[in-house]
Amino acid sequence: MKKILAAMLSGAVVVAALGGCGTYTDDGTGSSSSSSTGSSSSESAGASTSETGESDAGTDNTSFTFIGGHPVTLNPILSQSTDDGNSFYLLESSLFRYTQEGVQNELCESYDVSDDGLTYTFHLRDANWSDGEPITADQFAYAIYCYTSPDMGCPGASTYYDIAGAEAFNTGSGSWDDVGVKAVDDSTLTITLTEPNDDFILSLATSAPTPLRQDFVEAQGESLGSSVDSLQYCGPYVLSDWVLDSSLTFTKNPEYWNADETFPMETITLLKVEDANTAYSMFESGEVDAMTSVSTQYKDALAEYTTVETGAGGMMYLWINQNGTSDEVGEVLSNQNFRNALNYAFDRNSTVAAICPLNVPYSRLTLPFYEGLKEGSSFVDEYPVDSAPLDGDVEKAQEFLNAALEELGMSSVDELPEMHFVTWDTSQQRLLCETLIDQWKQNLGIDSIVLDQYPIGTAIGNYTSNNYDIFAISISSSLTPYDALDNFVDGGDYNKGIWTNEEYDALVEQIKATSDKAEKYELTQQAEQILVDGAGIIPFYGLSSAFATQPYVSGFGIGDLAAGFQFEHLTINK
Amino acid sequence: MKKQPATVSAAPQAATAITASDFQFIPREEKAADTVVRPSVSYWADVFRRIRQDKVAMISLGIIVIISLMAIFAPFFCPYDYATNNLSAINQPPSAEHWFGTDQLGRDLWARVWVGARVSLLIGLGGAIAPQIVGIFLGGISGYFGGWVDMFIMRVIDVGLCIPELVYVTLMMLLMGSGPMAIIATIAMVGWMGSARFIRGRILQFKNREFVLAAKAQGASPMRQIFRYILPNILGQQVVTITAAIPGAIFMEAYLSFIGLGIKSPMTSWGQLSQIGSSVFRTSPYQLWIPGALISVTILAFYLFGNSLRDALDPHLRD
Amino acid sequence: MGKYIFRRLVISIITIWLIATCSFFLLHMLPGNPFATDQILSQDMIDQLMDYYGLNEPLWKQYLTFMGNLLHGDFGTSYKYAGQSVNGIIAQKFPISAQLGLQAYLLSLPLGILFGIIAARKRGKAIDYGLVAFAVLGVSVPVFIVAALLQYVFAIKLQWFPVAQWKSFSYTILPTLTLAIGSIAGRTRTMRTLMLEVISEDYVKTAKAKGLSSAQIVWSHQIRNAIIPMIPNLGLEIVSILMGSFVVEQIFAIPGIGAYFVNSVTGLDYTMTLGLTVFFGVFVVGANFIIDLIYGLVDPRIRVVK
């Protein structure tokens, strides 16, 4: 679950790196639900109701053009990026749909859970593919076969490890027959889990496995999802035109089971415009109706069109590699006081305000969007941890530093070895690292931290092979606060031996073993405190999303957890 | 090139009008006018003299010298450090306090521009000259000798030019780090092939000319033929090529930093400054115009100076 | 002659093989893997993908597979754009870049040569200085500034042309101009210099002495000789202009091939980079082959020996 989220959500990294972002607000939801009924009649009304807009985008109210991230592949098996997921949201259906209102039943009309919490039985509704063929349970079973088969190379395979036998099958030690997915008949699918999991439905909704038809997938082979004709559609739209890295045209799919109630737009055009100045100009001149990201420099110019959603977009961290690029550096960086000196010495508030003002500075691990135990309150409010102040605390940082130097047997900061802050090529990333290095220099007198900038492939390669001392990169949000912590246990998804704490690992194990939510949260708080104190990973800021829409657009949403282009109730009224 | 004064077609008509009175007897001893009375001026002394007389060249040189001096000394006299951030004074337009304003991290642009000038001037000149030197040498050999040497070098160039330059740029920079010398070496490595080709073409054009054949007949060695007889004919064009390559080298560095391979932080360069400036040019235009104007002025000065130098160097262009 | 052409053909094929081989091994020397992008994947996911694409095989095996496919004219499937064949992407993107490049070339070649001739013939006059100033500005102002300015003035302020995208001829005008300005400027400078050299050559004086008209001298003695040194790089120049411009295509949101040359290398999309390199290489080698053949025709003093 965490892993597919990593794939689904990490697009926020890119977006944030470019200084932008995108999501929806509650206002949008509210106004859109009222307009959705009106708009379902607009199919026939078309342009007749349009006002005399100055816009060049045409005056019909059933087509929508926007600038956003483009999929690199529409092969559902090999897809790995958020941008792919966003488009799949419009093109395919799954058992559940993660909408602005939360998880909704999609192709699954209802489901039962066995008493032991292990077996889920899904009853599918009558629905068809865009070519009129019925959607059946064995298409789902075949799809999960594709996603977990060791021969298919699905990068998100581990998402399905909750399913009994899936891990063994995927790693080559088991067979498909033992995997707990069975199509009982055309409209009944059962899935058996390895252990009970309350979040399984949420996980299914966010990972959204699309059904696949065996004959078609086998006939397409490698070219599946590479063009308009090499993909089958069971979602609200079909793809009618696709110019790679340039434009995608979605046309409404009349066969979609809920076509009358939702997704009122007849055609949606998604443009890719990489240059922020050009995108702004196109928005300014009315050539497009919306943009999924707002670049920092146009923050003020676009203020009245922009919706900012803070929260689930992911989190930027500084990663401190305790092994270091050399033994000498390793010794310094494995000193907790030294790490904390770095942690306390920089001013998160003004750094974020200067470089990426749409984001929210943060110094703990769990993001504010996780719900608390009480209705309407959040986890972070109920379970505070003691962490570095957002303005920084130079005095405390110096105390940490002096303690560290004493422990290391050094008389001054000049004896510190050269440390490598590794990053990649975007200018925002560079600015961010430059100012951190400068703040450490100004506040602590450390001038032995150097910035190593590489092309992105090389930089991330260095990150994955632990060939860095300090690295700044964001990762996506997890579904729950304890999932977020699980990433950082020794050997966890994002902690390949850079930080180890047995107490922490034991607590995370304990969280997993507990089923009581309150207890889970309490343990989570304890574990988080250890992680924050340890400063192996230094939280920096939470990524926001910001998108701009023309005033006549309502219901535009990208949704939290970046589930996709949530245009269920998107309407325009020029 | 001035227009030739006499129209040759008029000559035959004039010839008919010649009478004996048009001729004059010259005493034998006056033929000594052929002997050289003034001291002989060497090629380089002559070049130097011509340059000095050229006003445009001198003004351009003056600009280059001023900019170079500023690059060397201005950062020492600036109250602000080029790398020190001041997050409470970001994106401030030029003022009495910050003459060129501040950038996105509140760093003083006046200081940054002159620190950047050091890098850009070094890389601009080095990156323009280095590939030419390699190119002249290998292109000269290739063009002059022909045969399998030519074939070999040309094949290397054919292959080398087609491999995406980013591949070796990345490799070189990863191997050599990202100091100015590494960048110059990288530019030389990528750029020599084009100039070698060009030189080869020029050598082919000149190697069968009479004056080269004459030198050859007198027993001049191949290297002497290339460097003493052919090269001066090509040098003029190459000087212009070098001045034309300066902007290329400056922007190559900016491009390298764009993909994460440029000069190492916190150093900066004009190319980088203008690139960052262009991303905010609708909101803080001065961040683009200041480095942009400096680049243009410098390049213009180099170009005009190069032009004059070419005129001075090229034996063809002398009156 | 037939034997000569055959020999050159063999050499050309060997050159292409060398290009493919050198690029293959150089590219694999770069650290990282195609799946290390800013979308961070867990090691499990990377391993899955590496296995699926056979990137964990020994390098020589991968090389043989690559060469085998290449012999069939198949560049393979992109790692980044899963499912997209490199051939398909080239087929979709190349014509757009080629059109843009050709338009810019057709605009810049005659204008650049013309400006160069005018500047050289009017040396030291106001028009010369004007053209030189233009040439210097054109070269010293980076293309991203030119593009942004043209876009700002003609698309946003005057609204004569669309801001970006690639739909009809009017969409092509601004990017064409952007590309052309730089190359007109460069060509003007080169042509002016070459013309100045030629003007004082003996054969030009001879032609004058023989009483040829000024136009005849310029045309058949000066221009022809001035152009010769430009020829050796012509092949590469034409091909590079056909292959698109990363910056211009990005600023005008043109779905050309330029960006792929950059992104595929920095993103280590091996198949894509190699496919583009070989495609580009075939073009360059082919163009050079033709140019070598006609080189001698243009300048009788040069004989491509043997």
Rounded to a whole number, what is the distance in angstroms from the first to the last CA of chain A? 41
Same domain, A539 and A472: yes
Q: Which B residues 156-175 touch C at CB under 8 Å?
A: 158-159, 161-164, 166-168, 170-171, 174
Q: Give C214: exposed, middle or buried? Use CB within 10 Å, 0-12, 13-18, 19+.
A: exposed
In chain A, which residues have their Cβ closer than 8 Å to the Cβ of B288?
A: none
The pLDDT assigned to A13 comes to: 33
Asked, for residue C148, whether it belongs to a domain, the answer is yes
Joined tokens for residue A393: 């605390």
Q: Which of the listed residues A263, A280, A297 is the one where a domain comes to its end? A: A280
Same domain, A122 and A267: yes
Q: What is the pTM of this model?
A: 0.79
Is the CB of C45 less than 8 angstroms away from the CB of A272? no
> Does A2 fall in a domain?
no
Q: Which pLDDT score, from 0 to 100, does residue C132 have?
A: 83
**Predicted local confidence at residue A113, as pLDDT:** 92
> Closest approach of chain B CAs to the CA of A252, in angstroms?
37
Choose the closest CB to B87 out of A354, A437, A459: A354
Which domain range does residue A127 map to?
Answer: 21-28+70-92+107-280
Q: Is residue A495 part of a domain?
A: yes
Is residue A452 helix, strand or coil? strand
Amino acid occupying residue C169? F
- Answer yes or no: is the ipTM higher than 0.95: no
Look at residue C117 and tell me if it is in a domain.
yes
**Host H or E run for residue A124:** strand A119-124
Helices (DSSP H) in chain C: which residue ranges? Answer: 2-29, 43-52, 59-71, 86-121, 126-140, 143-150, 169-199, 202-209, 214-217, 224-227, 234-242, 246-251, 258-266, 270-298
Examine residue A152 and state whether it is found in any structural domain, yes or no. yes
The answer as to whether A290 is a domain residue is no
Residue (of A572, A563, A566) closest to A7 by Cα position:
A563
The answer to whether A263 and A40 are in contact (CB under 8 A) is no
Say yes or no: A199 and A256 in one domain: yes
| Ramachandran area for residue A263 (φ above 0: left; ψ -120 to 50: alpha; else beta) | left
For the cut 80, the answer to whether the pLDDT of residue C297 exceeds it is: no
C65 domain-assigned: no
Instruction: Kindly state whether residues A325 and A225 are assigned to the same domain.
Output: no
> How would DSSP label each residue in A84-105?
HHHHHHHH---SEEEETTEEEE
For residue C144, which residues of chain B lie inside 8 Å, CB to CB? Answer: 275, 278
Helix crossing, B231-258 with B286-313: angle to 10°? 170
Is residue A443 situated within a structural domain?
A: yes
Instruction: Give the closest of A154, A272, A273 to C48, CB-based.
Output: A154
Domain that includes residue C128, residue range:
90-263
- pLDDT, averaged per 10 consecutive residues of chain B (319 residues), comes to 45 61 70 62 78 87 93 86 84 86 88 91 91 89 85 86 82 79 86 85 80 84 80 77 82 76 82 82 84 84 82 65
- Is residue C151 in a domain? yes
Average pLDDT value over all residues in chain C: 82
Residue C67 falls inside a structural domain: no
- Concatenated DSSP letters of A353-408: HHH-TTSEE--SSS-TTSB-SSTT-BHHHHS------TT--HHHHHHHHHHHHHHH
Measured between alpha carbons, how far is C154 from C151 in angstroms, rounded to an integer?
A: 6
Q: pLDDT tens, position by position, for chain A (574 residues)?
A: 333 333 333 333 333 333 333 222 233 333 333 333 333 333 333 333 333 333 444 467 889 999 988 888 899 988 877 788 889 999 999 999 888 788 889 999 999 999 988 999 999 999 999 999 999 999 999 999 999 988 888 888 888 888 999 989 988 888 999 999 999 999 999 999 998 888 888 888 888 889 999 999 999 888 888 889 999 999 999 999 998 888 999 999 999 988 888 899 999 999 998 888 889 888 988 889 999 888 877 888 888 888 887 766 788 889 898 888 888 898 899 899 999 999 999 999 999 988 888 888 888 888 777 878 887 788 888 888 888 888 889 999 999 999 999 999 888 888 899 999 998 877 788 889 999 999 999 999 998 999 888 877 778 888 888 889 999 888 877 778 888 888 888 877 777 778 888 888 899 888 888 878 888 888 888 999 998 888 888 999 888 888 899 999 988 887 666 568 888 888 888 7
The CATH number given to whatever domain includes residue C173 is: 1.10.3720.10
Q: Does C270 fall in a domain?
A: no
For residue A154, the domain's CATH number is 3.90.76.10
Task: Give a yes or no: residue C232 inside a domain.
Answer: yes
Distances (CA, A) of C106 to C111, C112, C113, C240, C279: 9, 10, 11, 14, 23
Could you give the 3-state DSSP secondary structure of residue A65? strand
Could you tell me if C143 and C104 are in contact, meaning their C-beta atoms sit under 8 angstroms apart? no
- Domain count across chain A: 2
Query: What pLDDT, on a 0 to 100 scale, did the predictor assign at position C299?
Result: 58
**How many domains does the structure of chain C reveal?**
1
The helix/strand/coil state of A6 is: helix
Neighbours of A502 (CB within 10 A): 8
Beta-carbon contacts of residue C300 (< 8 Å; ≥ 6 apart): none
> B180-207 and B147-162 are packed helices; what angle lies between their axes, rounded to 10 degrees?
140
Structure-derived torsion over alpha carbons of residues A336, A337, A339, A341, reported in degrees to the nearest 10: 170
Cβ atoms B132, B234 nearer than 8 A? no
Chain A residue numbers touching C85 (CB-CB < 8 A)? 222-223, 226
Residues A238 and A329 in one domain: no
Tell me: do A258 and A204 sit in the same domain.
yes
Give a yes or no: residue A276 inside a domain.
Answer: yes
Residues in chain A closer than 8 A to B90 (CB atoms): 354
The pLDDT score that the predictor gives to residue A312 is: 66
Asked, for residue A512, whether it belongs to a domain, the answer is: yes
Whether residue C305 has pLDDT greater than 60:
no
Q: Report the length, in residues, of chain C.
A: 306
- Residue A567 within a domain: no
Tally of CB atoms within 10 A around C219: 13
Closest chain A residue by Cα to residue B272 = A427
Q: Distance of alpha carbon A521 from its chain centroid, rounded?
A: 23
Chain B: residue nearest A454 by CA?
B260
Residue C150 at interface with chain B, using a CB cutoff of 8 Å:
no
Say how many C-beta atoms besides its own lie within 10 A of residue A556's C-beta.
Answer: 28
Instruction: Kindly report the CATH number assigned to the domain that includes residue A532.
Output: 3.10.105.10
